[in-house]
Amino acid sequence: MSLHVNGQPQRLAAESDTPLLWALREELKLSGTKFGCGAGLCGACTVHVDGQAVRSCLMPVQGVAGRRVVTIEGLSPDRGHALQRAWIAHQVPQCGYCQSGMLMAAAALLSQTPQPSDADIDAAITNLCRCGTYPRVRAAIHTAAQ
């Protein structure tokens, strides 16, 4: 199975029905993408596939053959993405577990809607955060959009 992950060509040995999440974490050792629910509900496992936010726990690796996958490790080479800077400025994370998925969902939103309204953010960011960081997530997205 061939695909591109964070700009690098990769060949996966995983079975074709292996969730992308586990191929990324176990085979490619990209542990920034997190396992939360395993059922497509929480968004902790969000990555980009051809620029779209995808919940990797539900995506079999055969579904990404030949496609471009970006994980939190590939969002920016120097952690200098506007969202990452805004996340730090607003001190968004609390425990931090869900935040890589939040950032990937936010990055996909800004790539499609560069100046999102609160309603746009609420509609696009359906990721769950047990620490309740939602107000800071929203504020940081607005800062990054400036």
Q: Applying CB under 6 A, what is the total number of residues that bind ligand FES?
A: 12
Question: Does residue 63 touch ligand FES according to CB under 6 A?
Answer: no
Which of 15, 37, 89, 118 is in the footprint of ligand FES by CB under 6 A? Answer: 37
Indicate the residue among 37 and 95 with the shorter CB distance to ligand FES.
Answer: 37
Residue 23 contacts residue 104 (beta carbons within 8 Å):
no
Rounded to 5 degrees, what are φ and ψ at 133? -80, 10
Q: Which stretch binds ligand FES (CB under 6 A): 4-12, 33-41, 115-123, 138-146?
A: 33-41
Indicate the residue among 55 and 90 with the shorter CB distance to ligand FES.
Answer: 55
**From CA 29, how far away is CA 131, in angstroms rounded?**
26
In three-state secondary structure terms, 90 is: coil
**From CA 63, how far away is CA 77, in angstroms rounded?**
26
User: Quick one: tokens of 60?
Assistant: 């079999």
* Contacts to ligand FES by CB under 6 A: 35-38, 40-45, 55, 57
